[in-house]
Amino acid sequence: MDGEDLLKNLRGVTEFEVAGDQPQRARPVRSPRLPPDLSGCVTHVTAGSRKMPVLKALTTTACERDCFYCPFRAGRSSMRRITFSPDDMAQGFMALHRAGVVEGLFLSSGVIRGGVTTQDSILDTGAILREKYGYSGYIHLKIMPGAERDQVRQAMELADRVSINLEAPNARRLEVIAPGKNFDDELLARLRWVTDLRRESEGRLRASSTTEFVVGPAGERDLEILSMTDVLYRQLGLARAYFSAFRPVMDTPLDNLPATDSLRQLRLYQASFLLRDYGFDLEELPFVGEGDLPLQIDPKRAWADQHLAQTPLELHTASRRELMRVPGIGATSADRIIAARRKGRLHDLADLRAVGVVNVNRMALYVLLDGRRPVEQPRLF
C-alpha cells in the first residue's frame, strides 16, 4: 500500500480520535504535501522545541463493542468498515514518512475478536516499523480494553507514548455511554500498569501516557472529570488528559442528545493545565453551581478575580509559583521576571515588555510594581 491509498482510506474516519497539541482548537493541518480534504488525518505533536506532523490512523474501523456514543459501534450500518494489515499500515506510513508528509504515527483501532487480538495487530505494526524499516521516530500506540499486561509492556518498548481512553470519570458515568466496558478492570487498571511498568523498568521504559474523556453525554460534572484528572496527574504521572466534546452521531443510541458546547471543552483543558503545570489544587478551581466551571471566563482569571483583584501580587517579591497564578504569566514569563528583578527594579509595564513578557495588559489588574498598580496601556486595536 502506498501513502496516498492509506490517506484516502483513512479520510473521514480519524476525526474522532483526539491527539496532538491543540485538539481544543481543531484547526486543519496545512501542508503543501497534503491535500486539503485529507488534513483531518494529520495532527501536530510538539517534540522538543518544534512541532511535527503525525498521521492519525486506525488498524480497523470495525468494532464488536457497543458504546452508545461511538461512530464505530457494532451494528452501525452507516459506518464505512476498513481494515489494514500490519504490513500494509507500516508500508503506507513509511511511504508518507519518506515523502515528508508526516514524521510520526498515532495508531488506534476498533476492537475485533477481543482486546488481546486487536492489541496484537497494533503491536505488530509498531514492530514492523521499528525492526523491518528501522524507523526510529515518534510512535503513539493505543492500549485496547482487555489488553494483557505483557502487551502493555511491549507497547511501551515500541512507543514513545501509549494511551487508553477512560471515556468517563468513573464507573457510574461510563455505564451510561459504554455499558459493555468495565471502568476499573478494563481501563483504569491498564493506566496503572503503565505507571508500574515504568517504575519497575528503572528507566528503561520511558513511554508517557495519556487518556481521553468524552464530555457531556453521561451527565457528568466538570468536578468529576477534573477530580479523576488530578488523580491521574498526581498518582500515575499522566502526561496529558484529552477532552472530547460530545457530538451526536447518527444511528447511535445517543443521537438525540445535544452537542456539548466546545467552550466547555476548552475550559476543561485550561483547568487541567492549571492542575498539571501551574501548581493549582483541585479545591482552588472556580467551580460554580453543582460542580461546573464557568463558561464565560477562563478558570485562571476567575481565580485571580477572586483572590488577586483586591490584593494584587507584588512582582518584586513573589515566588515563581505565585507569579504563575497571575493571568498572562506562564512559566517562561515567570522566569523572565525573576531574572530581570535580580538585575534591577521593574517600574512599569514597559519594563516587563522589555524583558520579553508578552501579555502585560492581562496581568495589570492583579499585580503591583514597587507597591503601585501599573497603568494599563490602552490597546490600539
DSSP for 145-156, written as a single string = TT--HHHHHHHH
* pLDDT at 381 (0 to 100): 47
* pLDDT at 86 (0 to 100): 97
Per-residue confidence band for 6, with pLDDT thresholds at 50, 70 and 90: confident
As a whole number, mean pLDDT of residues 18-41 equals: 56
Per-residue confidence band for 375, with pLDDT thresholds at 50, 70 and 90: confident
Q: Is the pLDDT of residue 32 over 60?
A: no
* Entry pTM: 0.91
* pLDDT at 27 (0 to 100): 47
What's the CA gap between 211 and 222, in Å, rounded?
A: 16
Q: Is the pLDDT of residue 17 over 90?
A: no
Tell me the domain boundaries of the chain.
Answer: 1-163, 164-178+205-293, 308-368
- Residue 378 CB burial class (10 angstroms; 0-12, 13-18, ≥19): exposed
Q: Is the pLDDT of residue 311 over 90?
A: yes
Q: Which CATH class is domain 164-178+205-293?
A: alpha beta
Which has the higher per-residue pLDDT, 137 or 28?
137
Report DSSP letters for 254-317, one per residue: TTTSPPPPHHHHHHHHHHHHHHHHS---GGGS--BTTTB--SSS-HHHHHHHHHTSSSPEETTT
Kindly give, in sequence order, each residue whose CB lies less than 8 Å from that of residue 72, ignoring residues fewer than 6 positions away. 16, 61, 62, 63, 79, 110
- One of 3.30.1380, 1.10.150, 1.10.10, 3.10.310 is the CATH number of 308-368, namely 1.10.150
Percent of the chain with pLDDT strictly greater than 70: 90
Domains 164-178+205-293 and 308-368 share a fold: no
Percent of the chain with pLDDT strictly greater than 90: 77
* pLDDT at 370 (0 to 100): 87
Per-residue confidence band for 58, with pLDDT thresholds at 50, 70 and 90: very high
* pLDDT at 31 (0 to 100): 54
Per-residue confidence band for 28, with pLDDT thresholds at 50, 70 and 90: very low
Over residues 241-256, the pLDDT tens digits come to 999 999 999 999 999 9
Of the listed ranges 69-73, 113-117, 139-143, 204-208, the one predicted with least confidence: 69-73
